[in-house]
Amino acid sequence: MKTVKSQQTKILIILLISVTVIFAVNKTNLYKEISNSIRLYNEVYRQLFTNYVDPIKAEEFVETSIRHMMKELDPYTVFMTEEEKEPLETLTKGSYGGVGLRISMRKDTLMVISPMEGSPASRANIFPGDQVLKIDSVSTIGLDLNKIAKMIRGKIGTTVMLTIRRPGVTGLSEYTLTRDNINVNDVSYSGMLQDHIGYIRLSGFSKGASMEVRQAISSLIKEDKRIQALILDLRGNPGGLLSEALAVSELFTEPGDTLLFTKGRTQVANRVFVSLQKPYSPHDVKIVVLVNKGSASASEIVAGVIQDLDRGIVIGAPSFGKGLVQTVFRIDKTHSVKVTTAKYYIPSGRLIQKPDYLNNPELVEEHVSGDTLFYSKNGRILKGGGGIVPDIEVKVESLPGYVRELWRQNMFYSYAIKCKSEQGDISTPVVVDEKIISDFKTYLDKDGFLYYQKNEKKLRDLEKELLKEEHFKSVRNPFASFYAVYDSMKVLDFDSNLSYITRGLTSEISTLAGGLTERIKNDLDSDPVIEKAMNVILDEIEYQTTLGYAY
């Protein structure tokens, strides 16, 4: 017996020594490879800084070269200064120093979508539709929105002055606001739809997002004790914190369910995440998750978990396909690098990341799985290859050219501003009637809305060029008959797109009447994806068979 135990101990020791030696050899080879590469790098730098004809700005040159180096890998591996880390820190803290304004650029002018409840901007009575012309002494006209956000944000307790023009009010007003701690609200809207169906719009996954979803579910259940289903809208949600994605997933799954696993080159990058909490959403409440091509990363984790575990149905369009894990490593006091260290895999084993994500594939030895078919908990076939393919795809019609041009030229918004100037407070819910439609049509003619039919602009450009030539200068309106046909077609364009026009006017006027919440509430009534989700929820047979249950 002792001999057997002694032999087992020897074998175990030999195995441990072998593993240690292999690991050490691999590490040694890696460090040797790094050392040789760095030596080459250092020598090139030495030659440049010593011999280049003009003095090189050392820090700027090094930062630029590092940025170019990292661009060769993937879009998410980046070099960051402290200033560039601010959005990431806002994500991880779930708050920032600011005044609480949701803003947007319209016709090169900064517009207030809505002030956040209880914020410095709200307390100062800044309204939706107000136009911010200056921040302190700097004009906002034509500025990049990200730059504007940085100018408004700052250390808590400091002040910022906003120069505001309010539609319908003569002159400008100056507001000096003291920056406060602003909590990021990721649930942009929640409420009950018809037929005992709840709805939650989740726009991000910053710190506290899961608690917001939990509170929204609780409020919906209190509002309607007979709630039968919940629509979780993740369309346009770019993702955020992994911890929040897992916490949101736990609201709908059972303890012990595998939610996610990650694979990377280091031991710390290989992890398995299992649900540890009891589900917060009642099990008899049907779940529908909405996604589109703007749903990425954390959104895809939540949608994928619910789909793989057959907890609910995914409806919409295929998601973005961002399944790479980033880790931030601090280099020194002012620099960090965000490095892709692993890949996300959802319960069925599907990799979320779409292929061909490397900027320069020749530099990386990528290991790609050939699997394309996977199975849900109930044995349903699921498609691999990156992103989340919905159980039910809804193709949303692209906007007709005429309506697209109305949006591009901000005609709905500028007309909404006109309404607010004339009426002051606008009652909600907004109803766009025949009188408004007729007035809008007149407004387009007076405001100089330009829209060209297919080939019309080419024709008008040709006319301009021809009339520059001497022998054509005496010709008057050579294409007049063609233009007359185009004009008659434009009249038809307005009438044939009344539903789109009504929707656009309702959205923009609602924004000025009640901010983002009112806009979302109104948009839901004409949303084809919401309509499909509700139809599936109300059709018991379709809902259950889609989940793979025999009926």
**Distance, CA of 208 to CA of 189 (rounded, Å):** 15
Which residue bears the tokens 């120069």? 163
Q: Where are the beta strands (DSSP E) in 209-360?
A: 229-233, 258-264, 271-274, 286-291, 313-316, 324-330, 335-345
Q: Residue 295 in contact with residue 319, Cβ under 8 Å?
A: yes
Cα–Cα distances in angstroms (integers) from residue 126 to residues 45, 93, 116, 165, in the given order: 54, 26, 10, 10
Per-position DSSP letters for 361-378, written without gaps between them: GGGS--------EEE-TT
| b/e 44-80 (16+ beta carbons within 10 angstroms → b) | eeeeeeeeeeeeeeeeeeeeeeeeeebeebbeebbbb
Q: Of 74, 130, 233, 308, which one is the catalytic site residue?
A: 308
Q: Check if 322 is active-site.
A: yes
The secondary structure of 173-199, three-state, reads EEEEEECEEEECCCEEEEEECCCCEEE
| The two structure tokens encoding residue 469 | 């030539």
Mutual angle of helices 434-446 and 411-423, in 10-degree steps: 110
* DSSP code for 400: P
Best CA proximity match to 259, nearest among 278, 246, 277, 243: 246
Q: Of 114, 119, 297, 348, which one is the catalytic site residue?
A: 297
Q: Of 322, 338, 343, 521, which one is the catalytic site residue?
A: 322
Q: Which residues contact 324 (CB under 8 A, 6 or more apart)?
A: 74, 76, 340, 342, 343, 344, 353, 357
Best CA proximity match to 287, nearest among 305, 260, 306, 301: 306
Q: Check if 297 is active-site.
A: yes
Which residue bears the tokens 């539709």? 129
Kindly report the backbone phi and psi dihedral angles of residue 325, in degrees, each rounded to the nearest multiple of 5, phi listed first: -95, 130
| The two structure tokens encoding residue 172 | 């400008």
| Residues marked as catalytic | 297, 308, 322
